[in-house]
């Protein structure tokens, strides 16, 4: 077998693999249709926004003061009034059935307490089975109650013939990079990384294993094609497909989901190319090791999907994870690509800030490629 690397032989292997993909509708479906479908499903279904919280009110007071309090809830876009209850039992049943998330109970003496200048207590009942959503909803309820309390205080001061006191602190929040607080702007860039990692690794995890199962690997071994040439040739068609998928995903994010792309498009595709080459090499390494398509696909899903979804910072912040898990997350390449995509998409920053993530992603890509070639050469020697 020739030791020199020949571009002609690499091209021949790549052409052979491209013909196989083109003639196999299932491979094309996995390569193009599934990423689009996953982006649509996750893009629309997965959201961290908590709007229109279902609310039920039991207004025992039935006065102008209680109605004004309730209006501070219903006028907010964060609450959706689903009805009025006449007892605790109705509130409890609505929460148990999942019809509402928040129950607001106004006591019978609410108006008397307000008019006498005393503190009136109201009860806010939340469904804590979804702790994160319940905490956000309780925060919205607290803000609505504070706004009403502030309005009552100002009215009391005016009736006393005094000027309302100035707030000691005037906080003027300003949200950078995502001023509309749309979770979609945060999710879509990370979703692109997760989908690309899962799909591309799954594609190449079947290539070498398929050759072994069909008995065509012996024919390839008998040709002058070397290990590096075979691995590179098999990677190239899927690399082109992967870059096409990235282009489709970026276009969907821009025109369908309206996610702002503030940074360099060239940098985005450059980092995507580095990431794809590494993940494709990981997939072909799995294919070389397993030698069966069923085992290769299962192992590829296990190695890529769970770590990229849970440990990349896509949904859950890595900084909030236990330290041992944070250490493990450094071995997940999607962590660096998610950080790169969000930095490019939302902040418009470049390698002057993202250089460390880009370098680590490059180390992963080169490392996987070298290991895949070395493992394939070792398999050949063992034949």
| DSSP state string for 178-210 | -TT--HHHHHHHHHHHHHHHHHHHHHHTTHHHH
* 336-361: average pLDDT: 94
φ and ψ at residue 205, rounded to 5 degrees = -70, -15
**Can you give the pLDDT at residue 382?**
57
**Can you give the pLDDT at residue 381?**
53
Pairing mode of beta strands 123-126, 79-84: unpaired
pTM for this predicted structure:
0.80
**Can you give the pLDDT at residue 3?**
54
Name the 3-class secondary structure at 59: strand
Is it the case that residue 383 has pLDDT exceeding 60? no
199: CB partners within 8 A, 6+ apart: 30, 31, 34, 35, 38, 242, 245
Euclidean distance between the first and final Cα of the chain, in Å? 14
Torsion of CA 60, 63, 67, 68, to 10 degrees: -130
Summary mean pLDDT of the chain? 87
How far is residue 279's CA from residue 199's CA, in Å, rounded to a whole number?
Answer: 9
**Can you give the pLDDT at residue 4?**
65
Over residues 98-156, the pLDDT tens digits come to: 899 999 999 999 999 988 888 889 999 999 887 888 888 999 999 999 999 988 888 88
Is it the case that residue 217 has pLDDT exceeding 80? no
For 53-159, which CATH superfamily applies?
abc type-2 transporter like domain (3.40.1710.10)
DSSP per residue, 145-167: HHHHHHHHHHHHHHHTT-PPPPP
Is it the case that residue 234 has pLDDT exceeding 70? yes
**Can you give the pLDDT at residue 66?**
93
As annotated, the residues of the chain forming the CATH 3.40.1710.10 domain(s) are 53-159
């Amino acid at each position: 077998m020739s030791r020199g690397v020949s571009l002609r032989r690499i091209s021949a292997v790549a052409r052979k693999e491209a013909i196989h993909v083109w003639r196999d509708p299932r491979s094309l479906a996995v390569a193009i249709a599934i990423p689009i479908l996953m982006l649509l499903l996750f893009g629309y279904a997965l959201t961290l926004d908590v709007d229109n919280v279902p609310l039920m009110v039991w207004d025992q007071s039935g006065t102008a003061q209680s109605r004004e309090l309730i209006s501070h809830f219903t006028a907010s876009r964060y609450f959706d009034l689903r009805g009025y209850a006449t007892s605790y039992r109705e509130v409890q049943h609505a929460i148990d059935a999942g019809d509402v998330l928040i129950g607001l109970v106004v006591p019978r003496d609410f108006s008397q307490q307000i008019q006498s200048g005393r503190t009136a207590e109201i009860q806010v009942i939340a469904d804590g089975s979804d702790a994160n959503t319940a905490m956000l909803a309780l925060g919205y309820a607290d803000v609505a109650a504070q706004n009403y309390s502030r309005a009552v205080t100002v009215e009391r001061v005016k009736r006393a013939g005094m000027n309302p006191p100035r707030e000691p602190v005037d906080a003027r929040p300003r949200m950078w990079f995502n001023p509309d607080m749309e979770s979609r702007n945060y999710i879509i860039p990370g979703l692109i990384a997760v989908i690309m990692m899962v799909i591309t690794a799954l594609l190449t995890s079947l290539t070498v294993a398929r050759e072994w199962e069909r008995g065509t690997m012996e024919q390839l071994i008998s040709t002058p094609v070397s290990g590096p040439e075979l691995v590179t040739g098999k990677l190239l068609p899927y690399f082109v497909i992967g870059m096409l998928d990235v282009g489709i995903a970026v276009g969907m994010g821009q025109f369908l989901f309206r996610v702002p792309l503030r940074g360099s498009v060239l940098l985005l595709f450059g980092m995507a190319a580095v990431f794809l080459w590494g993940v494709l090499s990981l997939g072909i390494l799995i294919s070389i090791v397993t030698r069966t398509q069923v085992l290769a696909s299962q192992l590829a899903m296990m190695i890529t999907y769970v770590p990229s979804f849970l440990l990349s910072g896509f949904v859950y912040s890595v900084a909030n994870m236990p330290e041992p898990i944070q250490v493990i997350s450094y071995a997940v390449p999607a962590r660096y690509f998610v950080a790169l995509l969000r930095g490019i998409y939302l902040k418009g920053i470049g390698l002057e800030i993202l250089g460390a993530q880009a370098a680590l992603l490059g180390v992963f890509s080169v490392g996987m490629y070298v290991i895949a070639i070395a493992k394939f050469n070792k398999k050949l020697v063992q034949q």
